[in-house]
Amino acid sequence: MGTRTILRVIVHDGDIRKITLNEKPQTLESLVEQLEGKLGLQYKFCLQYEDPDFNNALVNLADIADLPEQPTIKILSLVPTPTPSTADTETMSISSPESRSSLTRSPWPDNFEIPSFPVDIEYRLRQANLLYMRDNKYLQVPRDMKHEILEKLAETIYSFKAYPCDEEYLDVATALIQKHPCLAEPGSSNGCNGWKNSVNFKMGNYRTKLRRAGCNDVAINEGKRKGQAPQRLFKIPKRFELNFLPNLPDGEDETSMESKITELVEEMKKRSPICNSTFALTRREFVTLEPPVKDIIERWPALFAESQIVAEFCRVSSKNLKIEFFKELDKYTPRFFDIFKSKGGSVGRKLEGYLQQVAPAGTDVNGKRTAVLRGLPVILGDENNDFFKTCFDCDDLDISNSSIGILTVIPEDSLASPDSLHLALSSIAIILEGKMMMDGINTLPDAMCLLFGLIYALNLQYPQQLKNNFEFIQRVMLSLGHKSLKPKLQSLKNALMH
């Protein structure tokens, strides 16, 4: 228990990943669950592994004890990938090569792996590393060699993100001199500052080449560094979306994609449609045009179905929203309750009101989740009075001025107070731009999860009054973002870890 495990996972022939699990799985079911979360897979699958007893031939995995150290595992789907003409679908697979044609990004790795360089470069580095180990002599890198190294590093970095941050450039430079110590810079404080700056500069040149080639995620920012528009208008991933603005699929253009929109609108009337094929077009519209939500729901009604929100979030971030959200929420719940009890003053009184409605040994999971989600913005100092709304079903509530929120509607004859966590619910709805965009949601935690997914899917901003709350969900619960946190978020994370 507690041992980190590294896996080589073959999702399919064109998608082979290195996966690190924080805890070594003790059962086959635990391994499958962790792989679902890490890979964002939304379909049933079985596993095979390379068995050293049979010359590393693939064998079905029936017992977790059979796995060797650092194994290679292959994912085998148990159901065919659905298509609009063959099957209805509640959830969608994005693992086939066809469906992943525009989903090429992987999450930034915990440990950046330096790629293999051209054969001649690898040979020269190997000789230089041997010389360094024998005589402690650093390599004077020739210009042509440095160009090849930086070009390959830029290509590898782009497979993760187009606009890395300073911390990530440092990760790359550090990994480079660790793998090839002959490249270290004796005059640098950390041995790699020069390489970090060179990689940063090379990425700028690499983006220019991609921009000229028509890559959407960099072409959208063309000219903005030349004074044509302020820097703040840069359209880059701000919430660590992996597939922020992909190109249209091969063989498709805007005309052909428009016909798919009509098909999807018709499909929405009779079944839950597949939106993989139009993902690139929706991202282009949402990122470049930033249309109002009322226009989006008319043009893309499928995106407001629960299954499609989960699937779209997976396409954008490569994470399974519902599995990750509720797994982390339940994991932290006991510690949240301890923190709530430790608070005093007006904050403590408000939190105590939520705690009193949850029995200490109770099994009401939704009640506990609701208490945490209502209490989280309180301990983060966010204003949530206009976000969480409650009314009776007979009330004519004016929500036209509510830009974003969650509305709980309770029956008129209910004896519960509006602040109760155990309401005889009539409906829970999501409010966006003064209108109810989704209703009939079963629980407040479900509504909060789906709203977070909608923010990613529609490229919306976090509500200003709950910015800390949503950033905590993103950065701490879903691990989307840099490790460095705002002091307020870091303090809460530290408290949760105790």
Span 129-147, mean pLDDT?
92
pLDDT band at 261 (very low <50, low <70, confident <90, very high): low
- Does 243 fall in a domain? no
Angle at 95 between CA 78 and CA 482, to 5 degrees: 130
Spatial separation of the C-alpha atoms in residues 432 and 454, rounded to whole Å: 10
Torsion of CA 425, 303, 39, 64, to 10 degrees: 50
Question: DSSP letters along 332-398, please?
Answer: HHHHHHHHHHH--HHHHHHHHHHHHTS-TT---HHHHHHHHHHHHHHHTT---TTTEEEEETT----
How does 143-180 read in b/e, with b if 16+ C-beta sit within 10 Å? eebeebbbbbbbeebbebbbbbeeebbbbbbbbbbeeb
Span 276-288, mean pLDDT?
78
- Does 265 fall in a domain? yes
Examine the domain organization and report whether 214 and 328 are in the same domain. no
- Does 102 fall in a domain? no
Examine the domain organization and report whether 448 and 407 are in the same domain. yes
Question: Looking at 77, 105, 138, which one is the last position of a domain?
Answer: 77
The count of domains in the chain is: 4
The token duo for 371 is 């208490």
Spatial separation of the C-alpha atoms in residues 438 and 361, rounded to whole Å: 33
**Residues contacting 41, CB < 8 A, separation 6+:** 11, 35, 75, 93, 95, 320
Residue 422 has a pLDDT of 52
Examine the domain organization and report whether 337 and 410 are in the same domain. yes
Question: Looking at 27, 50, 77, which one is the last position of a domain?
Answer: 77
Spatial separation of the C-alpha atoms in residues 477 and 482, rounded to whole Å: 13
Residue 476 has a pLDDT of 92
Examine the domain organization and report whether 25 and 126 are in the same domain. no
**Is residue 246 pLDDT above 80, yes or no?**
no
**Is residue 270 pLDDT above 60, yes or no?**
no
Give the CATH number, domain containing residue 27.
3.10.20.90
Q: Are 439 and 429 in contact (CB under 8 A)?
A: yes
Residue 84 has a pLDDT of 35
The token duo for 137 is 């002599």
- Does 191 fall in a domain? yes
DSSP one-letter code for 109:
P
Tens-place pLDDT, residues 152-208 = 999 999 988 888 888 899 999 999 999 999 999 988 888 899 999 999 999 999 988
Examine the domain organization and report whether 305 and 182 are in the same domain. no
- Does 106 fall in a domain? no
Examine the domain organization and report whether 215 and 182 are in the same domain. yes
Spatial separation of the C-alpha atoms in residues 390 and 400, rounded to whole Å: 15
Residue 375 has a pLDDT of 92
Examine the domain organization and report whether 488 and 387 are in the same domain. yes
Q: Torsions phi, psi of 77, nearest 5?
A: -65, 135
- Does 372 fall in a domain? yes
Q: Are 475 and 317 in contact (CB under 8 A)?
A: no
Spatial separation of the C-alpha atoms in residues 276 and 109, rounded to whole Å: 25
Examine the domain organization and report whether 156 and 216 are in the same domain. yes
Return the amino acid letter for 26: Q
Range(s) of the domain holding residue 198: 119-233
Examine the domain organization and report whether 384 and 487 are in the same domain. yes
Q: Are 152 and 115 in contact (CB under 8 A)?
A: yes
- Does 92 fall in a domain? no
User: If DSSP codes are grouped into helix, strand and coil, which group holds residue 126?
Assistant: helix
pLDDT band at 78 (very low <50, low <70, confident <90, very high): low
- Does 260 fall in a domain? yes
Residue 276 has a pLDDT of 62
Residue 101 has a pLDDT of 37
**Model's pTM, two decimal places?**
0.61
Residue 263 has a pLDDT of 63
Residue 63 has a pLDDT of 83
Examine the domain organization and report whether 477 and 354 are in the same domain. yes
Question: Looking at 312, 332, 351, which one is the last position of a domain?
Answer: 312
Residue 29 has a pLDDT of 82
Examine the domain organization and report whether 205 and 264 are in the same domain. no
| Residue scoring higher pLDDT (104 or 475) | 475
Examine the domain organization and report whether 265 and 329 are in the same domain. no
Tens-place pLDDT, residues 388-429 = 888 877 677 778 888 899 998 887 665 555 555 554 456 799
CA 74, 79, 84, 89 torsion: positive or negative?
Answer: negative
Spatial separation of the C-alpha atoms in residues 262 and 376, rounded to whole Å: 42
| Number of Cβ atoms within 10 Å of the Cβ of 486 | 14
Q: Are 477 and 324 in contact (CB under 8 A)?
A: yes
